[in-house]
Structure 1
């Protein structure tokens, strides 16, 4: 056996304990989270009691201010449950609540809630809030969750911790004073540790699936309904339309400014110099020649500025050779070591290619300007009807869409095509941007030769 074979034979035995240790840590982490969820289950029961009191006071006695207050508490708990489902169970649960209608004031001083008029702003605000909460289907799904979660969610959260705790008690039997045996099971003495070990392992194995099941239980009741999804979709389309209109207007202003300050100014200068040449050509041929030379330089610079302007609108290499070659050409102009990895069996539609190209350009610019990166990787791929562009750099990290316009611009650009942007940028780096757009690739062009 060679030395290489010996190392290959040893590596699995060294990796196995590492994998087992990682699995044990993941199970212990899931078990700890289930313990936290089981301890928080009584809070849900308390919210149920408060909600029932607020509802009964409103229906029976007409005391309505407690109803919106109790509903707000339930919504806060539901939002926390959605956060737990997304971050602990890896089951994303979007918020389903409809936006609160605006309160409008008429010329006569009355307040319009969207349903009725009130003279008092305070009463109008209360009326608007109560009607908004009452008519929102998510309010009643939250109420159903508050009603059922102490039972269903509590059982899901408690099963694995109780099983593990019971198993640990069995493992500790040899160290405990003689007693009635191992709980309700007719096993004691030497068999108790064996049963305890089995139950402990079963509880640890059940922890991660239980956490996953808890997330899906939360999404089943607290996820968006079809009505809220449609309302949110209409809101997103409205935002996309406004963003597209603003972006188009800003792009037209940029083109106009670049033409006015660049090529147009140089062409005006060329016109003036040509007039000077006509005046000098008879009496000062040498001076006329010098003016012609300077004019030629101005024309060359104007042409270059026009090429740069066209490249900023739609790069020729992108139109002629596609997204992959366009990104590779872009990588050559960036002051970074950029590696482009591409696996695209065809070409996307021109608007989609343009959106991805400029999004990648913005990401690389941010890596240089804000991240202080020295190297970056761009990966282009297509699978399951999604065009995926992933940009990773070795910068300082800490990127936040709320702190600058660059990432928000990428989000708006992708949103116009129902695309999404996923950002991972911990302090210290690396920064990783994943852009996905639904599209269908055409078959690759074949050469006629």
Structure 2
């Protein structure tokens, strides 16, 4: 069997599942549409102003399920424009996503139910044809069972010929029709539920504006940190070296032994200054990345972590330096948080190449409950990742586990 045939047959179970989802969402739409119409009418009495937002949130849940299942069936996820954060009716009605949901609702009621039932119904026709062929003799002789353009089935020979032909046709239809029905339903859902090109571009501009602002803030914070480190550490060391050398110069002719001690202190200060300067540079771009690459650098970090850490690194290919640095710092920060705050007994780190993106997942079995902005460094992690057009997701319910997932594009 060819690869195309295999992939076509592999789509049938997914198509049947999507048809079943379409039927379920269609029935739910039948129930929800009159409720929303009633709540809209009650807005004239004032009661609907408080109840309609609840109905719209239920609609949003259904529409989100349809989006997710459509993306899963088609295999072509589309970036969604975020919903309005408000809970009031005016904010919901001012959100373009709500209006897409509303235009999808009656279509789901009709198209979802019809196409879903069609796909599922045709899928069982081979079984119906097989059962009918085996029980042709149940029909009376004067009114025999008929197949294929009304041809009568009155013997086992005709049952085998007509029934076999019908079964073959039913199998072909059971393969083709559900996939076609599901594909049409998926196309309808994408047209109605997914944002248009202009809306996606507007959302993209808003995202780029926010990430640019975050990148500028992160850059300013990084410059201030470097300036503080150099001023409080390296600069103080250099001042101390200058003072010792100045004193040594004054005592050069009077007390050679004291000059030797002062020069030794200056040399020690110079060594300390080089160590501190090296540490500042290491935080800008860790030399270990240049020396060992990302896999070796992560292996070193994992081995030094206070919590037992399991590291898995796949074939990464060519990764830009900024992406390597961002993923490295996220892993370091996540491991530091796990060691300090989570009480975890095990951390797993998985880094892999997913198409054009580099993905890292850090998971610990600790207490969870991580709150962004509570001094855990997540804000800095997010800014560093989003500055590269990447995404950072934190899942940390109370009781754990905590999962940090970062995706950074490797091509711009």
Please indicate the TM-score interval, normalised by the length of the shorter structure: 0.5 to 0.7
Match of residue 367 from structure 1: 338
1:80 aligns to what SS in structure 2? helix
Q: 1:330 aligns with which of 292, 301, 315?
A: 301
C-alpha distance in structure 2 between counterparts of 1:370 and 1:50, whole Å: 48
Match of residue 147 from structure 1: 106
State the 1:263 CA deviation. 0.5
CA change 1:97–1:305 in 2 (3 A) is: closer
RMSD of equivalent CA atoms: 4.5
Match of residue 294 from structure 1: 265
C-alpha distance in structure 1 between counterparts of 2:220 and 2:57, whole Å: 40
CA change 1:97–1:250 in 2 (3 A) is: closer
Contact 2:363 2:404 in 1 (8 A): yes
Q: Deviations over 1:365-413 (max 9, x none)?
A: 2212221334423222213222122222232223344655622332222
Match of residue 80 from structure 1: 61
1:395 aligns to what SS in structure 2? coil
Q: 1:43 aligns with which of 29, 32, 41?
A: 32
CA change 1:321–1:77 in 2 (3 A) is: same
Contact 1:337 1:376 in 2 (8 A): yes
C-alpha distance in structure 2 between counterparts of 1:395 and 1:366, whole Å: 10
State the 1:93 CA deviation. 8.7
CA change 1:74–1:223 in 2 (3 A) is: farther
C-alpha distance in structure 2 between counterparts of 1:369 and 1:222, whole Å: 44
Q: 1:356 aligns with which of 327, 330, 333?
A: 327
Q: Deviations over 1:415-441 (max 9, x none)?
A: 222322343434333323222222269
Match of residue 6 from structure 1: none
Trace 1:11-410 onto structure 2 (pairs within 5 A): 41-51=30-40, 72=53, 75-85=56-66, 96=81, 133=93, 137-152=96-111, 221-344=192-315, 346-401=317-372, 403=374, 406-410=377-381
Name the TM-score, length of structure 1 as normaliser. Answer: 0.59
State the 1:354 CA deviation. 1.4
CA change 1:239–1:321 in 2 (3 A) is: same
Bigger shift: residues 296-305 or 41-50: 41-50
Name the TM-score, length of structure 2 as normaliser. Answer: 0.64
C-alpha distance in structure 1 between counterparts of 2:275 and 2:284, whole Å: 14
Contact 1:389 1:435 in 2 (8 A): yes
C-alpha distance in structure 2 between counterparts of 1:157 and 1:399, whole Å: 42
C-alpha distance in structure 2 between counterparts of 1:67 and 1:428, whole Å: 39
Contact 1:398 1:427 in 2 (8 A): yes
CA change 1:49–1:137 in 2 (3 A) is: same
Match of residue 185 from structure 1: none
Q: Deviations over 1:113-151 (max 9, x none)?
A: xxxxxxxxxxxxx9xx69x957x6545433323433444
Contact 1:38 1:158 in 2 (8 A): no
State the 1:308 CA deviation. 0.4
2:342 aligns to what SS in structure 1? coil
C-alpha distance in structure 2 between counterparts of 1:270 and 1:281, whole Å: 16
State the 1:305 CA deviation. 0.3
Gaps of 5+ in 2: 1-16, 119-183
State the 1:322 CA deviation. 1.9
C-alpha distance in structure 1 between counterparts of 2:54 and 2:381, whole Å: 36
CA change 1:77–1:218 in 2 (3 A) is: farther
* Aligned residue pairs, count: 330
C-alpha distance in structure 1 between counterparts of 2:58 and 2:79, whole Å: 14
The question of 1:427 aligning with 2:386 is answered no
State the 1:363 CA deviation. 1.4
Contact 1:322 1:347 in 2 (8 A): no
